[in-house]
A and B are shown apart, each in its own frame.
Chain A
Amino acid sequence: MDRELLLRARAGDVEAFESIVLAKGESLFRTALAILGNEADARDAVQETLVRSWRSMASLRDPDRFDAWIGRSLINQCRDVLRRRGRVRDVALTDGRAHSPSLDGESAELREAFARLSVDQRSLLVLHHLHGYGVREIGAWLGVPAGTVKWRLSRARHALRVQLERGQ
């Protein structure tokens, strides 16, 4: 991310922040979509993340950590979206997914199992597998120590296996 752009946005420059929206919007949307499994929810989460980030840009101490800073906000918004909709464990896989390609049996099982994980577990796995982040980068996104990320990742994988076995 262009540091100069971030500094201007932090100083209250709306146009600079709009450039950030254009640069980051789709990536944030893809991440939210993978976590939430629903297009409408993902759009809501991204919009809210960006508006809240604008409000609190002044609190961004280190522009070099902007990705982790806004990423953490996105994860929080994903949690809030699910809380508001009253869906914690069961995410409807077909909602807003009219364009999804048809899935074979194994793939559908895996996707179902993934959708049954908690939002925090899904977030971890998305950051790891979609963005290729290591435990330290994920820790920065989530604001938790690397050791905790490692532990949670192992539990998320375990939970996924349990869900897969349960579905068979």
Chain B
Amino acid sequence: MSRWQSVPDPELDERLAAEIRGLAHGARLPDDWSHTELLPAVSSRIRAESRRSSPSRVAALAGIVGTIGLVAVIAAVVVSRLPGSWPGGPYGEARHGDFVLTISAAKPDYVAGEPIDVEASFGYDGPEDSVELSTSHPITSFSVREVDGALEMVGDIPGVCMLSELDRHQPLRRPFTKMGGWSRDDPNADFYDQWWRDPVFRLPAGVWEIVVHSEFHLGPGCAGERVTMEASIRLTIDEPDATERPTPGAQAPSPHPSLVPVPTQEPPLPSPSPSHTEQPPTVGNIRPIPPGPLGPRAAHSAVWTGSEMIVWGGTPGNDNVPVADGAAFDPATDSWRLIAAAPLVPRARHSAVWSGSEMIVWGGSAGPDGPSNGALADGAAYDPAADTWRAIADAPDARLSHSAVWTGSEMIVWGGWKRSDTAAADGFAYDPRSDTWRALPALPVAARAGHSAVWTGDTMTIWGGSGFGPANDFADGAIYDPADDSGTSLGLDNLGPRAGHSAVWTGERMIIWGGGRSRPLAGLPFGDGAAYQPVGDSWWSISLVPAPGRFSHSAVWTGREMLVFGGRVDSSSLPADDGFAYDPEALHDCADLHDLPPVSDDSNLDRENELAEIAFRDFQVVRIRYTDAACQTHPFLGPYIEMLLED
């Protein structure tokens, strides 16, 4: 492929500098433009925002109006809305010191089965630039109570203690999220089963109270002052109009007398099944992987043996309880087979590598029933040829959410959580021939977990992840060279910080995909990624549109495709039980590439094979055979290819 080369051209540089100066000063601005035009435009907006959100201004106003006016001012604070809440809809707020918790809905009345828009906001308005909070629960969780009935969906799932940093006047917003559970013994268990599995927030007819809770400790370590807050709103859910009733059989029957039919225009009530991500067929380099015999799965491991992808362990539900089963997927036949039971306790957030003859599983978390520090130090090796397992020596330390790569002779594990509040920046190497471990030095990057790692042939490249502390998610990485035990840091552009993503090595590039922000209330997982090529230290942004984002999934490289399996598409649904295969080398049909002018950056020609690798406006890189008629006559590609060929 051709590569750009830098050719010094002082004369062109000089002309260009003059032109750019001409461009910058081409507009005649009035002398007092900043005062008369820019400042009024900016000031009107920032002063309006400042009035809405600054408690110091409210306090100052309270001082001016005196004791009589104080009640009115406080009332005004209670009903004032943080930016982003819906005007006109119900609104609730709670305050504790400098913390504000709000909840709002788009409107007060909904129809049974209609999706309900509710958002919570948790902010800090105190004097510090930011505050540190720690919590073993989500910072906010939602509950729903039937005002005149017995139904109550209580949200809350304990986890490991995590530190978050909250910036002043930068409230964290979170749309209504289901995170909780129910008891099988409950007389309304059938209703709860349906409701919790429904990815859409909707309710049967009645009056409902929607509550947002916040529980956290001031400072790190979940040891400081514990604060709990609660704000709520009420919504009225009406019976649907008879004319909007669905046709018979169009939805699941209601297990609860108060659950009315769902209008046909809306998605059907949930079926008790895992999330399947939609795989629209656009640009031809994505194909679906069918659900396997394991069911939903997240925080599992996967390796590529040369002919099969073996998936093992992980969590099938939303309760963080792991399992110890596994299955192998053969992409040649699109079929799955179960593998033998492992001599290991169930676990998730562990690692697995393929040594050439065995899958080595190590570390991880045994879930709520595991050791108190949460991490495991044992492992086992699986031989697919014999369908048998053998135990391996315990490592010197335990880890979870770490990374592991196979170097050709050793398994290197790096980073991860040592305990629930301590991430690591070092690792160990395991030699299966001697069944021994050796310690490795720390790399020149921040300690982290939930990162990715690939072996590039002679070095290990780690990237992303999250740490314990204000730094939170990372968008940097490091390269470790075992030949001399050296490490170098790795910068990154094009891709935002994330954890719970995947990375594979194609032989030429590292493809990073998916993941999400680990900070609480951070939203849905990413559906984008990037390809990093060590030669030239270059990055390509990639977007696997239309595959929806996932986190806590697995990915392996088959030599031709990246197989993505399981993971979560949001934090409330069950994990996915399916996956997709992404072929970055797949040739796209130019006739399918609509309305996407190519960008002139990151484009390459392979003249020998008549292939062009072109970055588009959304930075998705596609490969085409540029001699195809549809490419040459494409309104954007035609002239662009011509330009490239002239180069």
Contact = CB atoms under 8 A, between A and B. Distances in A.
A114 B20 contact: yes
Given A54-B49, A159-B600, A30 B34 contact: no
B388 to A, nearest CB: 48
Contacts of B129: 10, 58-59
B601 A29 contact: no
A126 interface: yes
Nearest to B595: A86
Interface in B1-49: 4-7, 9, 12-13, 15-17, 19-29, 33-35, 37-39, 41-43, 45-47, 49
B602 to A, nearest CB: 9
A39 interface: yes
Nearest to A162: B647
B24 A126 contact: yes
Contacts of A21: 34, 38-39, 42-43
A42 B26 CA distance: 12
Given A58-B168, A99-B28, A129 B16 contact: yes
A105 to B, nearest CB: 13
Given A37-B23, A56-B170, A121 B537 contact: no
Contacts of B600: 89, 116-118, 121, 159, 162
A76 interface: no
A33 interface: yes
A145 B477 CA distance: 13
A162 B643 contact: yes
B56 interface: yes
A161 to B, nearest CB: 7
Contact of B12 (A18, A51, A147, A157): A157
Contacts, number: 170
Interface residues of B, number: 56
A120 interface: yes
A164 B25 CA distance: 23
A114 B41 CA distance: 30
Interface string B488-507: 00010100000000000000
Interface in A113-168: 114, 116-118, 120-121, 125-126, 129-130, 142-145, 147-148, 151, 154-155, 157-162, 164-166
Interface string B394-438: 000000000000000000000000000000000000000000000
B373 interface: no
B26 A33 contact: yes
Given A99-B27, A100-B26, A12 B20 contact: no
Given A88-B599, A110-B16, A147 B537 contact: yes
Interface in B612-634: 617
A14 B50 contact: yes
B282 interface: no
B137 interface: no
A75 to B, nearest CB: 12
A10 B647 CA distance: 49
Contacts of B46: 14, 17, 50-51, 54-55
Nearest to A23: B34
B484 interface: no
Nearest to B54: A12
Nearest to B38: A25
A2 B590 CA distance: 54
Given A58-B167, A151-B538, A51 B24 contact: no
B169 interface: yes
B597 interface: yes
Nearest to A56: B170
A97 interface: yes
Given A12-B54, A22-B35, A151-B538, A114 B19 contact: yes
B42 A47 contact: yes
Nearest to B537: A147
A10 to B, nearest CB: 7
Interface string B530-549: 00000011100000000000
A6 interface: no
Interface of B: 4-7, 9, 12-13, 15-17, 19-29, 33-35, 37-39, 41-43, 45-47, 49-50, 54, 56, 129-130, 167-170, 491, 493, 536-538, 597, 599-601, 617, 643, 646-647
Interface of A: 10, 12, 14, 17-18, 21-22, 25-26, 29-31, 33-34, 37, 39, 42-43, 46-47, 50-51, 54-56, 58-59, 88-89, 96-97, 99-101, 106-107, 110-111, 114, 116-118, 120-121, 125-126, 129-130, 142-145, 147-148, 151, 154-155, 157-162, 164-166
27 contacts: A18-B39, A18-B42, A21-B42, A26-B38, A29-B29, A29-B33, A33-B27, A46-B38, A54-B42, A54-B49, A89-B597, A99-B27, A107-B15, A111-B19, A111-B23, A116-B600, A129-B17, A151-B537, A151-B538, A155-B4, A158-B4, A158-B7, A159-B601, A160-B12, A162-B647, A165-B646, A166-B643
Which 7 pairs show the lowest CB-CB distances between chains A and B?
A: A154-B6, A145-B491, A129-B17, A34-B24, A144-B493, A30-B24, A25-B34
